[in-house]
Structure 1
Amino acid sequence: MCSAIAVNAPVGVMDSGVGGLSVLQHLTRQLPHEHFIYFADSAHAPYGNKTATEIQQRCFTIADTLIAKGAKALVVACNTATAAAIAAMRERYSLPIIGMEPAVKPAAAASKNGIIGVLATTGTLKSAQFAALLEHYGQGVQVVTQACVGLVECIEQGQLDTPHTLALLEQYCQPLIAAGADTIVLGCTHYPFVRKHIQTIVGPDVTLIDTGAAVAKRLQQVLEQEQMLNTATEAGDYVFLTSGMEKTGRVMQELWGLTA
């Protein structure tokens, strides 16, 4: 069993930028007594146009920072980073590491007509992990994918409602609508912050799915298995770090206000 210090230590949460705050929302609701340290690598966002080696090196750097601050577990709250780096991270570090994956399985279960849309970064859609997901869970359904180039950058700037952002969302949702998708996976942790706009574009009858809740449940399961759940009864606290400029901190505050 872990020592009291380790049990009450924080969980590190990392993302290419501010998108993982949408995951942190689910984590804090599922595990209200845990402490969290969130690291937004906004100076190097987006990850979707980087090589796997580049992403791995950024993940190692951030993981080292979070572990140095006492993290007892890590959540890689980024689909692209999970696909490119989580296997290497698990080889390198001994602490529990929880990753993301586009919710193809629950989308297949939720779809009524068997047509699923996936909005994601280019890096996620090209990854071997995503190909394996399609192979395993995409049988018997039609999966229509759409790379959303430029959308992460808009959200990183806090531009959730600008004409440019709305035009990108319209552009990327239209192929999924045209294909008849009745269920759409938000395959990037940034996208829940523009969920209301996506829902408006695709209509109320289309189900939108993200994986934040599933990640929170998985983290709880792993902490329970490792006897690492925080034993405190008071609410946990949060620390926010970023490699970005001062504006990133303001955007993080604004987005966290939307989720809190």
Structure 2
Amino acid sequence: MVKPVLHESSLAVGVFDSGVGGLSVLKEMLNHLPAEHFQFVADERYLPYGDKPQHEITDRVLTLSNWLRNQGCKAMVMACNTATAAGANQARAVHANWPIVGIEPAVKPASMLTKTGVVGILATTNTVASERFKALVERFDPMAKVIAHPCPGLVELIERSPMPEDAIEALLKPVVAELLQKQADVIVLGCTHYPFVAHLISRLAGPGVAVIETGLAVAKQLKTRLESENLLNVGNEHLPSIERVSFFTTGQPEAFKSKLVNLLGTAWCNAQVQQLDV
């Protein structure tokens, strides 16, 4: 029997992050691209990326992008700000004809939204120190003063299951207070883990401060790229989300599944998570 030839548009999109942060982006992509399938890799053995040497993060970016492409993925989303800052250029150089969507802090919309002219950005130490981030900030410097604040330890707390909200709030309180003292009226979440604590940041900042995340912007960018490459899947849009994602982790599958359910809800209780050794 001859197997039917799959059109490239029906292939999955590869997604990776150091851990569960990329789930905030995956959630937006599942909603915005209802027919797409995804292969999601949580590189938990190397978590967190935020304090690793740049060359080590770049190595992981290239290792995971090679694996996802060998899996037959039609495109890749780097659902990690630190990985994008460290390795997006290198990944695009290696995979020149493969759509790769990275993620960067939403400095442009924040610059257009601020009334005080001051924008705060919460990010990992490595993102703040990267040349890519510095260039992004400089690009919008005439529009707003950007204050970047690293949040060491925050990713590790978000990765706990269940999340220790009291400890997270205690870590965030002085950080948010400092941004408010400097007149920031917009706070950009510059790490894909941080949307899972956006409610705490909003509560600490108060009603006069906007909190911006980038998951939806990435989903829209992916859709634009897929359309331009004639790779957008316009097939069955009625499959439940759980049937459209294959999960892999370089850490412990059961531990990742516990965090997945805690963060995205009980609809994911039957998700299958496979061990990945790369």
Q: Same fold (TM over 0.5)?
A: yes
Q: Which runs of 5+ in 2 are unaligned?
A: 269-278
Q: 1:190 aligns with which of 180, 193, 211?
A: 193
| Contact persistence 1:182–1:205 (CA under 8 A) | yes
| TM-score, normalised with respect to structure 2 | 0.88
- Aligned equivalents of 1:89, 1:253: Cα separation in 2: 31
Shift of 1:161: 3.8
Quick one: which amino acid aligns to residue 178 of structure 1?
Q
2:156 equivalent to 1:148: no
Deviations 1:151-170 (A, max 9, x none): 00111113534322111111
Quick one: which amino acid aligns to residue 106 of structure 2?
A
Give the match for residue 130 of structure 1. Answer: 133
* Aligned pairs (5 A) from 1:83-232: 83-93=85-95, 94-232=97-235
- Aligned equivalents of 2:84, 2:162: Cα separation in 1: 25
Shift of 1:139: 1.5
Deviates more, 1:62-71 or 1:197-206: 62-71
| Contact persistence 2:261–2:267 (CA under 8 A) | no
| Contact persistence 2:162–2:259 (CA under 8 A) | no
Deviations 1:8-37 (A, max 9, x none): 000011111110110111111110100011
Quick one: which amino acid aligns to residue 80 of structure 1?
T
Distance 1:177 1:259, change over 3 A: farther
- Aligned equivalents of 1:255, 1:64: Cα separation in 2: 28
Q: 1:254 aligns with which of 251, 254, 262?
A: 262
Deviates more, 1:130-139 or 1:120-129: 130-139
Aligned residues between the structures: 258
Give the match for residue 271 of structure 2. Answer: none
Q: Which has the larger radius of gyration?
A: 2
Larger relative contact order (Cα-Cα within 8 Å, sequence gap ≥ 6): 1
Q: Secondary structure at the match of 1:184?
A: strand
- Aligned equivalents of 2:209, 2:267: Cα separation in 1: 22
> Which 4+ stretches in 1 moved above 2 angstroms?
158-163, 233-236
Q: Which runs of 5+ in 1 are unaligned?
A: none
Quick one: which amino acid aligns to residue 157 of structure 1?
R
Q: Secondary structure at the match of 1:146?
A: strand
2:22 equivalent to 1:51: no
Q: Secondary structure at the match of 1:39?
A: strand
| Contact persistence 2:85–2:130 (CA under 8 A) | yes
- Aligned equivalents of 1:259, 1:121: Cα separation in 2: 30
Give the match for residue 16 of structure 2. Answer: 14
Q: CA RMSD in A?
A: 1.7
Distance 1:204 1:98, change over 3 A: same
